């Protein structure tokens, strides 16, 4: 397992960036469909607004343990974050 970003293979880094973008886009889509602001979702899920903004823009990932917190507020399954549409 790489310790430093410079040790991460380029193909893995690209794949991770793609997943972050996909999950962030789905979170944004589900949030707006639920009629929630970023601040409301952040408060209800226990994330900071800055974490949520970074997540929605695909610039940051989350610990997988936090995904159920978001799913509970958005009334969806964790798997929905990884589905298209």
Position 33 in a domain: yes
What is the CA angle 26-6-24, rounded to 5?
5
Sign of the dihedral through C-alpha 67, 51, 13, 26: positive
Residue 3 lies in a domain: no
Q: What is the pTM for the complete model shown? A: 0.87
Tokens of 52: 């949520």
Structure confidence at residue 22 as a pLDDT band (50, 70, 90): very high
Q: How many domains does the structure of the chain reveal?
A: 1
5 assigned to some structural domain: no
CATH number at residue 30: 1.10.260.40
Confidence grade of residue 6 (pLDDT, cut at 50, 70, 90): confident
- Mean pLDDT in residue range 2-10: 75
């Amino acid at each position: 397992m790489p310790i430093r970003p410079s040790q991460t293979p380029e193909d893995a880094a690209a794949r991770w960036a793609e997943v972050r973008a996909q999950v962030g886009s789905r979170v944004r889509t589900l949030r707006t469909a639920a009629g929630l602001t970023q601040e409301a979702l952040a408060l209800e899920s226990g994330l900071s607004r800055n974490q949520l903004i970074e997540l929605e823009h695909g610039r940051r990932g989350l610990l997988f343990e936090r995904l159920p917190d978001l799913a509970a507020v958005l009334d969806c399954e964790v798997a929905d974050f990884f589905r298209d549409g």
